[in-house]
């Protein structure tokens, strides 16, 4: 189980946004940080998952490094790295800046460096950037069992918006009566973005356009009109549908659950999936 959290009141003064911690330095992420940050990502997620008896979201440090290699090279994703006094990388955070509502994460700190406010500094840094960039709000997803990070996010003003179920397994190869699923194209972007805006009050146009370019985006039609879409059925994808039948059609038609982890997250109460 995971939790989707949002914050909309970015335009305020944070008393301790840049509170100095002499032993920690924040700097911009670089491509050569991918291996170290990816290893920390895997270790941090594995430790907290195993403490609560869960399987880690990511299968290996190599998987984490590959994922962060992509993020560190993405021009619409801002990255910040925390380093100790001796230059050792001890954490990282990311701000997805391609849409009206910015996404935060993954936010991770080396288990050996936790409980020293490093995570708080990483979060405050990206929140300050989101404020300076004048985003309407920010969103993130966290494991429901991680009470320490939930406490931090609550202190930073986030509200829990939706519980998400982590679903793992193999593609289903199912069809839903009355629904047709096909690849999404550039000509479908307007209809898909309008649907997302109607359901959520904002669109994720930048993310969807990138998915169309990568060939991972699909849409579902009902009675000859677009009734749902998915940037990808996978860990970093998102999906929107008018109702659950539309989401079931998108999930059932997925040839793979993307992201390398063979999993996706699904909202338990509303017609949306992903992060």
Q: Which helix (H) or strand (E) element contains residue 44?
A: helix 34-51
> Would you state the torsion angle of the CA atoms of residues 116, 138, 256, 268, taken in this order, to the nearest 10 degrees?
100
**CA distances to 183, 221, 235 from 44, in Å:** 36, 41, 17
pLDDT of residue 256: 87
Q: Provide the 3-class DSSP secondary structure of residue 25.
A: strand
pLDDT of residue 2: 64
How far is C-alpha 27 from the chain's CA centre? 22
40/272 Cα distance (integer angstroms):
30
pLDDT of residue 18: 42
pLDDT of residue 215: 95
pLDDT of residue 19: 43
- pLDDT mean for each 10 residues of the chain (275 residues): 64 43 85 97 96 90 95 96 95 97 96 94 97 95 91 94 85 94 98 96 95 96 97 91 96 83 73 49
Q: Which residues is 241 bridged to in the sheet? A: 228
152-156: list long-range contacts, CB under 8 Å, 24+ apart: 152/119, 152/120, 152/123, 153/5, 153/123, 156/7, 156/120, 156/123, 156/124, 156/127
Q: Which helix (H) or strand (E) element contains residue 250?
A: helix 244-253
pLDDT of residue 114: 93
pLDDT of residue 264: 84
pLDDT of residue 9: 61
pTM of the model: 0.86
């Amino acid at each position: 189980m995971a939790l989707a959290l949002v914050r909309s009141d970015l335009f305020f003064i944070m008393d301790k946004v840049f509170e100095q911690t002499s032993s920690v330095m924040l700097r911009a992420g670089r491509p050569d940080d991918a291996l170290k940050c990816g290893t920390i990502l895997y270790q941090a997620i594995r430790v907290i998952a195993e403490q609560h008896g869960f399987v880690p979201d990511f299968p290996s440090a190599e998987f984490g490094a590959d994922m962060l290699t992509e993020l560190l090279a993405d021009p619409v994703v801002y990255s910040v790295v925390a380093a100790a006094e001796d230059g050792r990388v001890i954490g990282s955070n990311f701000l997805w800046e391609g849409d009206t509502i910015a996404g935060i994460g993954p936010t991770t700190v080396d288990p050996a460096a936790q409980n020293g406010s490093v995570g708080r500094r990483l979060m405050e840094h990206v929140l300050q950037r989101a404020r300076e960039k004048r985003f309407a709000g920010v969103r993130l997803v966290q494991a429901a069992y991680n009470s320490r990070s939930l406490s931090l996010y609550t202190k930073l003003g986030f509200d829990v918006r939706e519980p998400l179920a982590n679903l793992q397994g193999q593609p289903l190869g199912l069809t839903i009566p009355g629904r047709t699923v096909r690849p999404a194209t550039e000509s479908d972007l307007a209809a898909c973005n309008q649907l997302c805006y109607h359901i959520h009050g904002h669109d994720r146009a930048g993310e969807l356009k990138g998915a169309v370019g990568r060939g991972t985006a699909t849409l579902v039609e009902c009675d000859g009109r677009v009734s749902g879409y998915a940037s990808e059925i996978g860990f970093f994808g998102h999906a929107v549908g008018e109702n659950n039948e539309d989401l079931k059609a998108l999930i059932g038609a997925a040839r793979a659950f993307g992201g390398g982890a063979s999993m996706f997250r699904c909202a338990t109460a509303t017609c949306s999936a992903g992060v």
